[in-house]
Amino acid sequence: MPLIQIPDTVNSDLSLICGYTFNEPELSANDFVIVEDSASSRKYFGQIVAPQANLNRSALGPQDNATINAFEQLEQKNYSREVVVREVYFYQISLVKDITKKPPSSVRRRPQIGSIARLATESEIVLYLNLPPVDENYRIGQIIDSDIGIYINQRTLFYQSLIAGATGSGKTNSCANYICAALEMGFSVIIYDHKPDYQHIDQPNNDVQKILNDNGQVEKNTNWVRAIDADFYYLGEDSTAFQGTEIAIPASEFDPSVLAAVMYYPPNENNQREEFETLLEEFDDEQQAAHNGDGSAIWTLRDFFQWVTSNQDPWQPPNHARERLGGRQAQTYRTMVSKMLRRNRRPAWVDGGLPISPRGNTNGNRGRRQSPSAAVFSQNQAPQQPQWFDPAELLQPGKALVIRVGQAGGGRDYGLFLNYMLKRVYELKDSRQIKFPILHHIDEAQDLFNGSKQFAAAMGNVLSEGIRKGRSKQIAFTIAVQSAAQIPDDILNNLNSRIIHRHNRASEAQRALEKASDAQISMTKNFGPGEALVDLFGASAVINARMRLSPFQLTTEELLQESEQKQNGGSSQTREIVPEPEEQLQSLEHEDDFQF
């Protein structure tokens, strides 16, 4: 049933046209239509912005007593519906493009009264929306209530993407399809796995068919369901629930400002943080100047501690800084060194857990008292040099590198590691040591900005610079967050494709989708799992989409429990219990005593 355009009023929104359909409300919100104006011989591509308003052709208003009485009789089944209701359906259409000539242009002249609108065909929608070309390898979803696929390409990825949605909205499934499409394009994908969600991507999602059937959806072809070739690494402590290799990175590899913000994060430690950053920069300059080998000098916080204390007890600043750190600054210096050694200030994976102080333990300045049992169990041996992590040896086209970043440190661990990875990957691309494209998938990115102002500012600068510079080096980013409002403006401005799932506050979704109508934004509060508004880079309009389920297996609590049971079961069969002499047991009772 076609729609016919009706007259405007003086106060009409001129970005829209309004019209009626009769007999049946065949159009739905977000449908695309072709508007043909016979008066001016012009054609337009438009989008229905909201569900229909149902009007009655009766000359009496809905509050008129005669209307009320008639509907009372209808409710009591004394009248048939046809006697009381003579319906007409009112719609609003947003004019997307003037398609009278090629190429389509912006709308500078509106259609006139009596213009006729019809549903657009699939080929017209793809053409006038300017969507990426059809390629089933790169499919991420479909336009809702249709079979029209939504695809991405390299251009979509290199112009960077935001995927946002509340818990349970289907955001991770959208991320999974981005990841699979990028791998099919020959990208190496680095997944920063936060919750975690991606510890089972080397298994296919065998639940797809059941989920589709339970939702009343029919999909004949599920050849897109597959496992991913991936390597697994992790930050921090090992766990029987996960697979992977531990990461160790020397302190020399970090931006001094970010490392300082990680270690001196409380708001009242500004002076210590600034001094620590300055001294790190000075120490690194000395190390690089003295370095004669290939590449840059590698050093740890243990090396820095010995330098910054002149390897003396009591501590003494380096010769060049003693005047600067004397007088009133002496307290700042002492506090800075003392807090550097505090437990949990330095992430456990930095320097591979090597003690900062020659007398300290791996987490701070207070070493455990050496006991007889320590010698028995070889605990008095000097700490071993860790095997440093370097993505250069791991990144491969068509393969994922999954890094479980965890939730320790209030996002500080995550941010510090991301700082290293962005810097290192850029160096590898800039020097052409790797020539294939890279996708950084940054999961739960809101944690990077939820810490102290100093840390959030430092990470914001690092991430913003990486996103701005990445495209020129074929480095792409997808940023996944629970709410679009959690992304700083300077970063959001450079995320040109946006997939917005359910938001509990419509105003937060609107911040990311300025092209969307108010009615579209309002819908985000009530989206079901997998439903989203999609605004791809270069597309002419925002699309209401049904996103595809993950091709690979996403991690669930049940899978984690299964992994733990298998690991514990296997280890319990092979674990050997060694009896301990009485004197060893007595000494172990004092292992929690500390010395300074």
Same domain, 406 and 543: yes
| Domain edge (last residue) among 84, 105, 129 | 129
Give me the residues paired with residue 438 across strands.
Answer: 188, 475
Helices (H), 358-505: 372-376, 412-430, 453-470, 489-492
Q: Which tops the pLDDT comparison, 147 or 6?
A: 6
What pLDDT is recorded for position 218?
60
Query: Do 279 and 315 sit in the same domain of this protein?
Result: yes
Answer for the pair 540, 47: CB distance below 8 angstroms, yes or no.
Answer: no
Question: Residue 595: is its pLDDT beyond 60?
Answer: no
Higher pLDDT pick, 455 / 247: 247
Using 50, 70 and 90 to split pLDDT, how confident is the model at 407? confident
Q: DSSP letters along 142-173, please?
A: EETTS--EEE--HHHHHT-EEEE--TTSSHHH
pLDDT of 143 reads: 94
The verdict on residue 111 lying in a domain is: yes
Q: What is the pLDDT of residue 238?
A: 67
Q: Is residue 182 domain-resident?
A: yes
**Contact indicator for 175, 549 with CB cutoff of 8 Å:** no
Query: Is residue 484 over pLDDT 80?
Result: yes
Which of 18-32, 48-62, 215-229, 434-448 has the weakest average pLDDT? 215-229
Lookup result for tokens 């991913």: 228
Tens of pLDDT, residue by residue over 97-106, are 999 999 999 9
Question: HSE of 542 in the Cβ direction (CA atoms, 13 Å)?
Answer: 26
Same domain (yes/no): 120, 218? no
Which of 129, 157, 181 lies at the terminal end of a domain, its last residue?
A: 129
E-assigned strands of 253-369? Answer: 367-368
Q: Are residues 403 and 543 in the same domain?
A: yes
Domain that holds residue 256: 251-387+581-595
Tokens of 306: 């010995």
Give me the pLDDT at residue 383, please.
57
Confidence (pLDDT) at 168? 93
Query: Does the structure show a pLDDT above 70 at 85?
Result: yes
> Alpha carbon 15 to chain centroid distance?
33
Write down the mean pLDDT value for the chain.
Answer: 87
Question: Is the domain of 371 the same as that of 506?
Answer: no
How high is the pLDDT of residue 162?
97
Q: What is the CATH number of the domain that holds 515?
A: 3.40.50.300
Residue 408 has pLDDT above 70, yes or no: no
- If DSSP codes are grouped into helix, strand and coil, which group holds residue 381? coil
Q: What percentage of the chain carries pLDDT values higher than 90? A: 65
Note the pLDDT of residue 318. Answer: 93
Torsion of the alpha carbons at 89, 95, 99 and 105, rounded to the nearest 10: 180
Would 64 be classed as within a structural domain?
Answer: yes
User: What's the half-sphere exposure (Cβ side, CA atoms, 13 Å) at 399?
Assistant: 11
pLDDT-based confidence at residue 412 (cuts at 50, 70, 90)? confident
Q: What is the pLDDT of residue 561?
A: 81
At residue 192, the pLDDT reads 96
More confident residue, 240 or 327: 327
Whether 114 and 51 share a structural domain: yes
Confidence of residue 54 (pLDDT cuts 50, 70, 90): very high
Structure pTM? 0.85
What SS3 class is residue 434? coil
Query: Cα separation of 174 and 529, whole Å?
Result: 11
What gap in Å lies between CA 194 and CA 335, rounded to an integer?
A: 33
State whether 375 and 410 are in the same domain.
no
Element (H, E) at 520: helix 518-523
Output the pLDDT for position 1. Answer: 65
When pLDDT is averaged across residues 180-203 and rounded to a whole number, the result is 95
Predicted pLDDT of residue 583: 38
| pLDDT, position 327 | 87
Q: Does 471 reside within a domain? A: yes
Give the model's confidence band at 377: pLDDT under 50 very low, under 70 low, under 90 confident, else very high: very low
In this structure, the number of other CB atoms found within 10 A of the CB of residue 274 comes to 16
* Interval 417-436: pLDDT, tens: 999 999 999 999 999 999 99
The answer to whether residue 563 is domain-embedded is: no
User: 451-457 contacts: CB < 8 A, separation 24 or more?
Assistant: 451/265, 451/410, 451/411, 451/412, 451/415, 452/261, 452/265, 452/266, 452/267, 453/267, 454/261, 454/265, 454/267, 454/270, 454/273, 455/258, 455/261, 455/262, 455/265, 455/411, 455/412, 455/415, 457/261
Least confident interval from 184-188, 334-338, 555-559: 555-559
Do 350 and 436 sit in the same domain of this protein?
no
Q: What pLDDT is recorded for position 591? A: 35
Phi, psi of 253 (to 5 degrees): -85, 0
Q: Between these two residues, 186 and 212, which has the higher pLDDT value?
A: 186
CB atoms closer than 10 angstroms to residue 57: 9
* DSSP β-bridge partners for residue 4: 20, 116
Is it the case that residue 365 has pLDDT exceeding 50?
Answer: no
Q: Which of the four pLDDT bands, split at 50, 70 and 90, describes residue 584? A: very low
**Structural domain contains residue 429:** yes
- 413 and 474 in a single domain? The answer is yes
pLDDT confidence of residue 557: 84
> Mean of the pLDDT values across residues 69-96?
93
Residue 362 is given by DSSP the state T
pLDDT of residue 343: 81
Least confident span in 40-49, 450-459, 471-480, 526-535: 450-459
Q: Give the pLDDT band of residue 207 (cuts 50, 70, 90).
A: confident
pLDDT above 60 for 376? no
Both 454 and 471 in one domain: the answer is yes
Do 591 and 515 share a structural domain?
no
Specify if 393 maps to a domain. no
User: What are the angstrom distances between the C-alpha of 93 and each of 27, 31, 124, 127, 161?
Assistant: 11, 9, 17, 19, 28
Query: Do 50 and 74 fall into the same domain?
Result: yes
- Other Cβ atoms closer than 10 A to 530: 23
487-527 pLDDT, tens digit each: 999 999 999 999 999 999 988 999 999 889 888 999 999 99
**How does DSSP classify residue 195?**
S
Number of domains in the chain: 3
Answer yes or no: is 568 within a domain.
Answer: no
- pLDDT tens digit string along 113-132? 999 999 999 889 989 999 99
Q: Residue 219: exposed, middle, or buried by beta-carbon count in 10 A (0-12, 13-18, 19+)?
A: middle
Domain end, chosen from 61, 96, 129, is at 129
